[in-house]
Amino acid sequence: MTITLISGLAAALLIWTMLTDFLYAVIPNTVSASIAMLFVAFAVASGMPWATWMAAMGAGGAMLAAGFALFALGVIGGGDAKLLAATALWAGWAGLPNLLITMGLFGGLVTLPIILSHERFAHSRRLARSALGHRVARLGTGRSVEITAAQPTDRMIPYGIAISAAALPVILVPIGF
């Protein structure tokens, strides 16, 4: 029951991340940190062997380094790099190839419509932002915060959607969803 709750919370955060990344091009640090902390809670609650835990930490660290290199090159955003590292913890070395391949496929699905129909995508993003306003709930505080960090352009690719979509099965399949 505990590991199901922990995994469900991580999945809910990933779904929330998809929405905020699409609307605002922002992945708050608190989300990535929470997903990483939920992995630690999952590892403890499930009795994960120490070797598996350390392998997961290695996969997360490797993806953090790779993500920051891609960020430095301007390929992905900083939030994407941290989210990738947090989700890599859940995948570990054994699941990392599947996570990355699935992420690439979802990334293509997210990017292709943007490339093919830039104006339509930009219009739908603007409509969604205006309908929901530029305020989102700040995790854990009950307050809302004005989103101004990224000031997204309509040409930005919300790659957090692909990372989150690829991570959902990694998190949910081991608990039987």
How distant is the alpha carbon of residue 83 from its chain centre? 4
For tokens 């990483």, the residue is 36
Alpha helices, DSSP H, located in 25-132: 29-46, 50-72, 78-116, 118-132
Cα–Cα distance, 68 to 80 (Å, whole number): 9
At which residue do the structure tokens 């993806």 appear? Answer: 63
Q: Residue 95: which residues within 8 A CB-CB, separation 6 or more?
A: 170
Count of structural domains, the chain = 1
- pTM of the predicted model, to two decimals? 0.79
Q: What residues does 146 pair with on adjacent strands?
A: 135
Neighbours of 120 (CB within 10 A): 11
Q: Which domain holds residue 114?
A: 2-175
d(CA 161, CA 78): 14
pLDDT in tens, the chain (177 residues): 799 999 999 999 999 999 999 888 889 999 999 999 999 999 999 999 999 999 999 999 999 999 999 999 988 899 999 999 999 999 999 999 999 999 999 998 888 877 776 666 566 666 666 655 555 544 444 444 444 444 445 457 888 999 999 999 999 987 554
